[in-house]
Structure 1
């Protein structure tokens, strides 16, 4: 059994980040004919709506995956957080629309996760559930196990992260979703794992970046990579216990006011798209911010070298032709390490950045209120 490093050396979190290449290969190596049959029959329906849901990082997994699934399946695919559905179910659930609800949940014990699937069962005439979770003892997996309209897929046991921040749990669930419903293949997963291993090997460089101890971090990406940017910002905010300011946006959206956040103590991370058209806008914002703040103010991640006039980039090769939703996986490993090493620079305890319990690993204290009579039968 691997011993857990001391908190000042990264704790369980550094192990859970580093295990992702092997975990992804394990996820991709599994075959489940019953699962394939269950999903193939559903997605063959032209009227099917797919909702990707979860809370926090699990919700952002849906934001990353949704555009790729929409294009791949030619179906209506929407990422809607459980927190939104629980607060206003009638805004999002449609009784007469056949719906596949894909639920992401590390433990499956968040109150909103259980409430969302229960609301869907109550308010949608034809509903099916795909539950992606890491905890075989979790309430969500147990609630849907053995149900005719549900499929529960468990991630490898080691991905049930014990650290505060979701790392290997998140990426494993995201990859599983893209393998089951989207454009990913086991061969793609192997390429992604190789790229992620390259990021693992870059730890000294990422640690040096964290040692600049910036006070503001901005993450920019388009389409699926905007969801990645949002998750990156949350990861850093969590692991530094809110001591640094984080922000996310798309490269184009950032210019419309949010660019005001930039100052000399800001690090901007730009995730470059694999789409040639989208990539042009990424390069534009890189040139603009480097022109304003200097070359070192921007860290660029790309799957291919960028033109020399735009400055240096961290290049993750071997990913040519892959969708941005897939490329987001090794990009995210970089973001996780940057968050972890920044947390250590600020002398936090990464496995539990909130030792006094202000924020917990599984959300507590949420009251699930029953639907009012009129709304429940609308």
Structure 2
């Protein structure tokens, strides 16, 4: 009798183990398997929310099938204490494991609204945009001048949100003076800088910041990125270049940056100026002359006058020999690469060709023909600046 009871108990125990194992296996498959989402959503984790609250919200919004399984699986994987406040993009059919990973990964929000403070060569603008989860692209909400006395109500309201992402973007070719002036107008930064950073020392890049970030620390990060880029590229520079220091390469890079916005022709532009230096010719580049007039503190807003082309300044490359004493802007990585890896050409001249790029020439005769073609195009376009270098 006792043997029968023991046998039945053992059987029941084994059955229970099988049932429990089956439940665990089902739970694991449910936790790791595809989720119910048909299209991406932006899920927000409220500040201070518990795992139970988040689990229920996920189930209510159709992100997961079962809040209890999500909670148990997240606790079992030791992620329950790592929930991050913010808004996160959840992809279609994301498993519970994927969702838990998205909500506990480091860093800022991956969706929701973002402010991009863009500093361009001539102007600055603030763009508030919002991620469309279904299309996985940002949609602009409002755009405005950061110097505006009255900010758009959409921006004012969005700025109150704790999970709003903040980004600063510097365009290639912007001057250090312009960067600092515009950053001082950013109402989401704090502090100030005492001096304008040296020209060329700031990296044109995108910087994700937190609201209230220190301006001085941000500028230090911009300088650190540019210094790292220059050091990296200088270490692998081509042989036979005339630069004695990395700073001289940065001067050339800034000239290349201001002369063309076409990435593919930057090595050719660099070759023109290096070829001219090698032959003892003056660089004769308008952007340096303009910098001598404006000191980088504002766009010239007009064509150069003949008196300005004749006036002797340290930056007038129609008058001085060699390069100016400092960079004339903050060049991007591609322009630095071009200065340190110029194309192998015999070009000595270039002029705008009407397509946004330039026509290059080896001889003055060929260059004059290119200039004549540009003059014809220029006449139909209202007398734009021709750019490029002139003949001696």
Tell me the TM-score normalised to structure 2 length.
Answer: 0.27
* Larger Rg, first or second structure (1 or 2): 2
Tell me the TM-score normalised to structure 1 length.
Answer: 0.28
